[in-house]
Amino acid sequence: MLQLFSPAKINLFLRVLGKRPDGYHEIASLFQAIDLGDQLTLTFSTKDTLTCSNPDLPCGDSNLITKALMLFRRQTGLNTPVAIHLEKNIPTQAGLGGGSSNAATTLWGLNALHDFPFSEQELQTWSASIGSDVPFFFSKGTAYCIGRGEKVRDLLPLSLPSFSLIKPSVGLATPAIFQALKLQECSTLDPDQLLHDFMIGKHRFINDLEIPALRLCHSLAQIKEKHPTAFMTGSGSTMVILSGDTKPLHRKQGWY
Q: Which residues bind ligand C5P (CB under 6 A)?
A: 24-25, 27, 131-133, 148-149, 174-175, 178
Short-list 147, 119, 149, CA closest to 136: 149
Measured from the CB atom, the residue of 5 and 24 that comes closer to ligand C5P is 24
Shortest approach of ligand C5P to residue 131 CB, angstroms? 4
Short-list 181, 191, 207, 179, CA closest to 153: 191
Short-list 228, 235, 133, CA closest to 175: 235
Question: In the bound complex, which residue of the shown chain has the CB atom lying closest to ligand C5P?
Answer: 132
Shortest approach of ligand C5P to residue 42 CB, angstroms? 23
Shortest approach of ligand C5P to residue 149 CB, angstroms? 5
Measured from the CB atom, the residue of 62 and 253 that comes closer to ligand C5P is 62
Shortest approach of ligand C5P to residue 182 CB, angstroms? 14
Catalytic residue at 151? no
Complete DSSP assignment for 16-34: EEEE-TTS-EEEEEEEEEE
Determine how β-strand 82-87 pairs with β-strand 142-147.
unpaired
Measured from the CB atom, the residue of 5 and 178 that comes closer to ligand C5P is 178
Among residues 38, 67, 88, 133, the one annotated as catalytic is 133
Measured from the CB atom, the residue of 111 and 127 that comes closer to ligand C5P is 127
Shortest approach of ligand C5P to residue 148 CB, angstroms? 4
CB atoms within 10 A of CB 190: 12
Shortest approach of ligand C5P to residue 20 CB, angstroms? 8
HSE value, Cβ hemisphere, 13 Å, CA-based, for 174: 17
Catalytic residue at 224? no
**C-alpha triplet 44, 45, 51: angle, nearest 5°:** 95
Among residues 9, 67, 88, 167, the one annotated as catalytic is 9
Q: What is the CA radius of gyration of the chain?
A: 18
Asked if residues 84 and 106 have their Cβ atoms less than 8 Å apart, the reply is yes
Measured from the CB atom, the residue of 106 and 163 that comes closer to ligand C5P is 106
Complete DSSP assignment for 101-163: HHHHHHHHHHHHHTT--S-HHHHHHHHTTT-TTGGGGGSSSEEEEEETTTEEEE-PPPEEEEE
Measured from the CB atom, the residue of 26 and 48 that comes closer to ligand C5P is 26
Which active-site residues does the annotation give?
A: 9, 133
